[in-house]
Amino acid sequence: MCKKPNILLIYTGGTIGMIKDSETGTLHNFNFDELLEYIPELNLLDCNISTQSFAKPIDSSNMNPSNWVEIASIIEEAYDNYDGFVILHGSDTMSYTASALSFMLENLSKPVIFTGSQLPIGDLRTDAKENLITSIQIASLCNEGRPVIREVGLYFEYKLYRANRSTKINAEHFEAFDSLNYPPLIVSGVNLSVNYQALLPSNSGKKLKVHKKLGSNILLVKMFPGIDEVTINHLFAYPEIKGLVLETYGSGNLTNEKWFVKAIKKLIDKEIPIVNVTQCSGGSVDMNIYKTNIKYRKMGIISGKDITTESALAKLLFLLGQNISANSFKTIYETSLRGEMK
């Protein structure tokens, strides 16, 4: 028998926490201490709900790694007093933050569910209520006295995704997110249908370890026809560069122009990690298919396999904060740490 779970809602900012001023028509954040006034249906849930908000809620476009640390710190401090956590976050950068938290929260044995909305909570047609109510229900799920979800998830429009497998695909539809390389963990219908085979194995026997040191000074460069030597040399000459993510064509293909090969080799010689991710919505990097890619693989470029760009960036920042030796970095990056790649 599961006890009545204690759930902590953490509001960071975003559309889900906004209401429209009836006089001016502008949006503003509402007081989350008054949450039940806006969503009385929460009283029907079989759990105890507490709320905590950033002192100054932020637009998700302003989200940065220091904010990720703030969220992780809130969870760390409250971890022993709650059975699950629901993070309310703007949708634009939600996959970045949720992916980062999946790496920062090692040995997680409780649900951490990110959600948000496309319309404000006070809007007549809002998706905020369903997203929030179901996220709390998911965070409250237990089986044989233990949480069903023991990882970081992202719930949006009837589906719970593994956070570090999610990406935002639409700015207007309620179905704003997808996970093209991994199935949903839960599909919400009349009942919550759990895909138990897709869940991460439990780490309940290990103590939560929160990583708060993250790297910085990384670049994301998307390959495109016409990218030129001057541009690449200018970007790669950034003196503080600590890491690079390349969004490449198809299954990880890169130009084999001599100037580009030379620019890549120069970074690798400086022991700057370079991660190869596909710019395709789905699919995987395979650096063994084409002759040019084999050359880059032998040079030391890291294969991102089927990782999302959001997760690739978050994982790079996470590993750069761990003081990993250059000799081990590629091996560790290409290893799935939180189910983020196959």
- The pLDDT value given to residue 145: 86
Q: Which of 313, 94, 75, 19 is nearest to 208 (CA)?
A: 75
Letter for the amino acid at 149? I
- The pLDDT value given to residue 204: 67
- The pLDDT value given to residue 88: 95
Catalytic residue among 12, 15, 115, 134: 15
Which two three-digit tokens encode residue 236?
A: 């790669």
**Helices 258-269, 291-299: crossing angle, 10 deg rounding:** 20
Which two three-digit tokens encode residue 58?
A: 């932020």
The beta-carbon contacts of 284-293 under 8 Å, at least 24 apart in sequence, are 284/181, 284/251, 284/342, 285/248, 285/251, 285/252, 286/251, 286/252, 287/252, 289/251, 290/251, 290/253, 292/253, 292/254, 292/255, 292/256, 293/251, 293/252, 293/253, 293/254
Q: Does domain 218-333 have CATH number 3.40.50.40?
A: yes
Half-sphere exposure of residue 287: CA atoms within 13 angstroms, side-chain side: 20
Predicted confidence (pLDDT) per residue in 137-155, tens digit: 999 999 988 999 999 999 9
Q: Do the domains at 6-210 and 218-333 have one common CATH topology? A: yes
Q: Which of 53, 341, 326 is nearest to 182 (CA)?
A: 341
Are 85 and 8 spatial neighbours (Cβ–Cβ below 8 Å)? yes
Residue bearing tokens 């006295």: 145
Reduced to 3 states, what is the DSSP secondary structure of residue 199?
A: coil
15 is catalytic: yes
Are 338 and 151 spatial neighbours (Cβ–Cβ below 8 Å)? yes
- The pLDDT value given to residue 236: 97
Reduced to 3 states, what is the DSSP secondary structure of residue 100?
A: helix
CATH classification code of 6-210: 3.40.50.1170
- The pLDDT value given to residue 1: 52
Q: What is the dihedral of CA 72, 75, 80, 84, to 10 degrees?
A: -130
Tell me the pLDDT of the chain (342 aa) as tens digits: 578 999 999 999 988 877 777 677 777 777 777 776 778 888 889 999 999 999 889 999 999 999 999 999 999 999 999 999 999 999 999 999 999 999 999 999 999 999 999 888 777 788 988 999 999 999 999 998 899 999 999 999 999 999 999 999 998 888 889 999 999 999 999 999 999 999 998 776 899 999 999 999 999 999 999 999 999 999 999 999 999 999 999 999 999 999 999 999 999 999 999 999 999 989 999 998 887 788 899 999 999 999 999 999 999 999 999 989 999 999 999 999 999 999
Domain boundaries, the chain: 6-210, 218-333
